[in-house]
Amino acid sequence: MKNYIYSRALLVALTFGLFVQSQSGLAQKSTQDILVSFAESYKADPMAMNSNFGIKVAEEWWAVTVARKEEGYAMGKQKQYTFHNYGPNEVTIIQGKPAQPTWYFRLADRETLDKVNEKIWTASTASAKSTPADVVAMDIEDMEGFTSDQEATAIAYMALEHFWKKDAVEVTQFSRGGSLPSHGAEIVSLYTMKDKRIAWFSIGPEEAANADRGLDKSQVPNLFIITKGRGKGLIGDEEIELKPGMSVFVAPYMKHVIFNPYDEPLEGILVLYGDNIDYATGQSYMSFLEEEYAFYGKNEKAVKKQSSDKHEN
């Protein structure tokens, strides 16, 4: 019996030692290993886009190159439709600055990378700003000698959303514990693209969103969907009561301040159409939409002609 007790004690000690060693190994995972794991998962991501970009964690640099792979195949009784298989994409990551100037993800420190890797923050939550001048934990910036245009920015947003998520099914957890402040509310970014941004928001008791000068109007539409709590909204010149089961559409340049005079948080989903900064220096969002919709017609004709020529050949 004594030998059995000693053997059990030894087994427990060894098991505990292996567990501690395993946990220590996880804690010591290098920045390189974490970034490589993101790059490897991106190979299977259907939303990957052709791109060359950098990653800077504190003062360390990496260069990433992505070549999306897709293959079309005919569907339908007359094979009149085209579906696509995606991947595996070609994704390479090497330590050091990109050879040619480009845009890059700037992570303030290793802690930021760990929080994204451990799903405490989404990358787009860590990047959320109230104004373009805000300094945040994670940002998209340009290397010296490169200036992002709208195309580069759109691709960067797609990478922000998908490169930094490793699961095949991308799930975002939202709560005040995983949120960051923006526009006077606590937010968790659920999805970010150039033409739309979707976020969960929480406004605590006696707090207000968009109350600061310059934040109460937007160049693009906003849609607020209330899911929990109560609050009040100053929309244009009208004050309305906010409660679960309702949505509020706010047109461009319409004043909108959301405040909470009650005892529990006001929570919901915000859909922001487009990127404010694109419409601050000339073109309006509505003019852009007219051009975008005209492009749909031109693109449809071009795709149909391409498909017709392919079948004839």
Quote the domain boundaries for residue 88.
Answer: 30-170
- The tens digit of pLDDT for each residue in 30-87 reads 999 999 999 999 999 999 999 999 999 999 999 999 999 999 898 988 888 889 999 8
Please name which of 57, 51, 16 lies closest in space to residue 34, comparing C-alpha atoms: 57
Is the Cα dihedral 36, 41, 43, 49 positive or negative?
Answer: negative
Residue 175: is it exposed, middle or buried by C-beta count within 10 angstroms (0-12/13-18/19+)? exposed
Which single residue is written with the structure tokens 């992570």? 107
Q: Look up the CATH number of the domain holding residue 84.
A: 3.30.1050
pTM of the model: 0.79
Indicate whether 78 and 54 sit together in one domain.
yes
If one counts the domains in the chain, the total is: 2
**Residue 112 covered by a domain:** yes
Residues 157 and 177 placed together within one structural domain of the fold? no
CATH number of the domain enclosing 247:
2.60.120.10
Q: Is residue 22 part of a domain?
A: no
Residues 207 and 259 in one domain: yes
Closest CA to 279 of 212, 220, 209: 220
pLDDT at 313: 64
Q: Are residues 190 and 155 in the same domain?
A: no
pLDDT tens for 134-185 read 889 999 999 999 999 989 999 999 999 999 999 888 889 999 988 989 989 9
141, part of any domain: yes
Residues 36 and 130 reside in one and the same domain: yes
**Does the residue 298 lie in any domain?**
no
- Among residues 170, 204, 223, the one where a domain terminates is 170
Asked if residue 145 and residue 55 are part of one domain, the reply reads yes
**Is position 2 within any domain?**
no
